[in-house]
Chain A
Amino acid sequence: MPDLATFQRDFAAALLANCQPAGPFRSLAFAVYRNSSARGAVEALRAAYPTVDMLVGEEMFTEVALDYRREYPLTGPVLSEYGGSFPGYLARQPWTCELPYLADVARLDGLWLQSFLARDANAMPRPFGGSSKIALHPTTSFTWLATPAMTIWQAHRDPWEIPELSPDWVEEGALFTRPGSCVHAELIDAAFHHLLVACAAPASAADIASAVTATFPHSDVAELLRRGIASGALVIQ
């Protein structure tokens, strides 16, 4: 009888093997463990990337997830933390050239989840004063995309919009924040994205205005700040 370490090494290798395992791991009983382990990883990835699943379909998602698991097996037991590298992995797959927005949609699924699970804000919002600084809410995440992936993402999260979907092929920004119990998703323009970048470290309204107007001289920074605070993406400190 091998020692426990050797037994577990061989068992783990057989669970991850690409081909049919040999010897004692050939049985249908062993296949229960092999299937459960694979299914657990696939379903964890599907739960994290539901819009990608909708776009490619259940069967193809399962195949892609199994391929992904071969390269990136789970490294911890908290399933919601699995698959952080999935958007980058999708971007590297030759077949996604036919769906050039897919990796960006995966990034948006990832940002939604990040916002959903982020720590809650510690303090009640403060009124704006002379010494106030403006910062990102802890649940705020945002990005700038080279594709109209946010329009596609939003349409799939609201199925009533899918039949009318014909996005212009333009760059888009996306903002996710969770002011209460629900994640708020918003399509944003370049000036607003720039403002969010300027708030990555707490900053005064004057410094934020300087940063934004340096690139977007005609933008209405006061209105952008009002929008950011109203949506809950920004907080006053």
Chain B
Amino acid sequence: MTPTAGLSFKAIHYEQAMACPAAGLWFEVHAENYMVDGGPRLAMLETLRNRFPLSIHGVGLSLAGVDRPDNEHLARLKRLTDRFEPFLLSEHLAWSRHENISFPDLLPFPRTAEALEIIARNIDITQSALGRQILVENPSLYMKLEGHDWPESLFLAEIVKRTGCGLLIDVNNVFVSASNLGFNPISYLDALPQRVIGEIHLAGHSEDPLLGRGLLIDSHDAPISDEVWTLYDWLLARCGAERPPTLIERDDEIPEFAVLLAERDKAAVMMGGRLEAIDA
């Protein structure tokens, strides 16, 4: 079965997921939630993996951190990927660790020549340790930082060139960043090296309670917005015939499985055609 559109896996939806007959369905989990010694969490993932293709999405490698990736964390990720053999493995263009302190977030940095060297080194270390390619995801950005030498899409392209990694393009992150920082999301998508996009993420966002649409938050707690669906359609058209597997992400205000499946089915249909066909 060729994976088409997938869902982030939620344990509360386990039974519906296992019974779901949708063609091309796959699931994604956060690596760090399964870095445990044993128990029902891993057993559930094992059963899911036996039924569906699985993607593992890391949030803890801190690829844009000045320190090298933590060896112990890499070893745990390797054990997980060896056991579950995910068809996709991804991390973020962000940092989340400074010295011995971790931040459960994906933090921004100025895209300088120095940052490029450090991130390329960290991706090389990661891919060597894991013995496979990883995909690197564009983050949601909220702050205007001084000192960028590169726009993000070209920075990602240069990282791909230097390391041989692939890209995970989160279309909602592109929309949120473009809205918050005032750039054109279409130009951003057009500047990406589309041939190396190995996965697409779609998710919902929310407005800051004080600033409204002046500050969008990548909250993963709402349906995917119309603007993000439109950008997704644009990106699919740029990807040509090889359309990357697409994931519907939802981490908060989790609705019924059928609601998420409907968004997933919409993405699956769009992967086979164009948005006009969906709305017609």
Do A12 and B143 touch (CB < 8 A)?
Answer: no
Give the dominant DSSP class at A's interface: helix
- Inter-chain CA distance A14–B13, complex, in Å, is 38
What are the residues of chain B within 8 A of A11 when measuring CB–CB?
98, 107
- Inter-chain CA distance A138–B35, complex, in Å, is 17
With contacts A7-B109, A7-B110, A77-B32 taken as known, whether A116 is within 8 angstroms of B40 at the C-beta atoms is yes
- Inter-chain CA distance A32–B216, complex, in Å, is 10
What are the residues of chain A within 8 A of B98 when measuring CB–CB?
8-9, 11-12
Of the candidates B66, B96, B105, the one whose C-beta lies within 8 Å of that of A5 is B66
Interface status of B97 (Cβ within 8 A of chain A): yes
- Closest CB pairs A-B (n = 8): A77-B60, A40-B104, A1-B147, A12-B98, A119-B37, A120-B38, A119-B38, A29-B142
Give chain B interface residues in 205-230, CB to chain A under 8 Å: 208, 210-211, 215, 217
Interface status of A36 (Cβ within 8 A of chain B): yes
User: Which of the segments B112-120, B128-136, B164-172, B184-192 contacts the partner chain?
Assistant: B112-120
User: Which of the segments A57-65, A68-76, A90-98, A124-132 contacts the partner chain?
Assistant: A68-76
Map CB proximity to B onto A9-52 as digits: 1 under 8 Å, 0 otherwise. Answer: 10110011000000010011110110011001100100000000
Do A117 and B37 touch (CB < 8 A)?
Answer: yes
Interface residues on B, range: 35 or more
Interface status of A170 (Cβ within 8 A of chain B): no
- Inter-chain CA distance A119–B41, complex, in Å, is 11
Interface status of B12 (Cβ within 8 A of chain A): no
What are the residues of chain A within 8 A of B1 when measuring CB–CB?
none
What are the residues of chain B within 8 A of A8 when measuring CB–CB?
65-66, 95, 98, 107, 109
Do A76 and B36 touch (CB < 8 A)?
Answer: no
Interface status of A79 (Cβ within 8 A of chain B): yes
What are the residues of chain B within 8 A of A44 when measuring CB–CB?
104
Do A28 and B38 touch (CB < 8 A)?
Answer: no
Do A77 and B43 touch (CB < 8 A)?
Answer: no
With contacts A1-B147, A8-B66 taken as known, whether A77 is within 8 angstroms of B102 at the C-beta atoms is yes
Interface status of A181 (Cβ within 8 A of chain B): yes
Please name 15 further chain A to chain B contacts, defined as beta carbons within 8 Å, in addition to the given A40-B105, A77-B73, A80-B33, sorted by A numbering: A3-B114, A4-B110, A7-B110, A9-B98, A12-B101, A15-B103, A27-B143, A29-B142, A29-B180, A37-B105, A40-B103, A73-B102, A75-B102, A76-B73, A120-B43
What are the residues of chain B within 8 A of A15 when measuring CB–CB?
103, 107
**A contact residues, total (Cβ < 8 Å):** 41
Do A178 and B180 touch (CB < 8 A)?
Answer: no
In the complex, residue of chain A having the shortest beta-carbon distance to the beta carbon of B216: A32
Do A181 and B40 touch (CB < 8 A)?
Answer: yes
What are the residues of chain B within 8 A of A12 when measuring CB–CB?
98-99, 101, 103
What are the residues of chain B within 8 A of A118 when measuring CB–CB?
37-39
B86 to chain A, nearest CB (A): 18
In the complex, residue of chain B having the shortest beta-carbon distance to the beta carbon of A44: B104
Centre residue among B76, B96, B107 by max chain A CB count within 10 A: B107
Cross-chain pairs A/B with CB under 8 angstroms, 6 sampled:
A8-B66, A11-B98, A32-B142, A77-B96, A116-B39, A117-B37
Interface status of B276 (Cβ within 8 A of chain A): no
What are the residues of chain B within 8 A of A214 when measuring CB–CB?
none
Do B43 and A181 touch (CB < 8 A)?
Answer: yes
With contacts A77-B96, A80-B36, A117-B37 taken as known, whether A37 is within 8 angstroms of B142 at the C-beta atoms is no
What are the residues of chain A within 8 A of B65 when measuring CB–CB?
8
- Inter-chain CA distance A27–B62, complex, in Å, is 24
In the complex, residue of chain B having the shortest beta-carbon distance to the beta carbon of A27: B143
Interface status of B56 (Cβ within 8 A of chain A): no
With contacts A3-B114, A4-B115 taken as known, whether A28 is within 8 angstroms of B215 at the C-beta atoms is yes
Do A29 and B146 touch (CB < 8 A)?
Answer: no
Do B104 and A79 touch (CB < 8 A)?
Answer: yes
A121 to chain B, nearest CB (A): 9
Of the candidates A32, A117, A178, the one whose C-beta lies within 8 Å of that of B217 is A32
In the complex, residue of chain A having the shortest beta-carbon distance to the beta carbon of B98: A12
Interface status of B2 (Cβ within 8 A of chain A): no
- Inter-chain CA distance A108–B39, complex, in Å, is 18
What are the residues of chain A within 8 A of B62 when measuring CB–CB?
77
What are the residues of chain B within 8 A of A75 when measuring CB–CB?
100-102
Interface status of B59 (Cβ within 8 A of chain A): yes
Interface status of A206 (Cβ within 8 A of chain B): no
- Inter-chain CA distance A7–B64, complex, in Å, is 12
In the complex, residue of chain B having the shortest beta-carbon distance to the beta carbon of A178: B39
A98 to chain B, nearest CB (A): 31
Do A77 and B104 touch (CB < 8 A)?
Answer: yes
What are the residues of chain A within 8 A of B217 when measuring CB–CB?
32
A171 to chain B, nearest CB (A): 30
What are the residues of chain A within 8 A of B145 when measuring CB–CB?
24
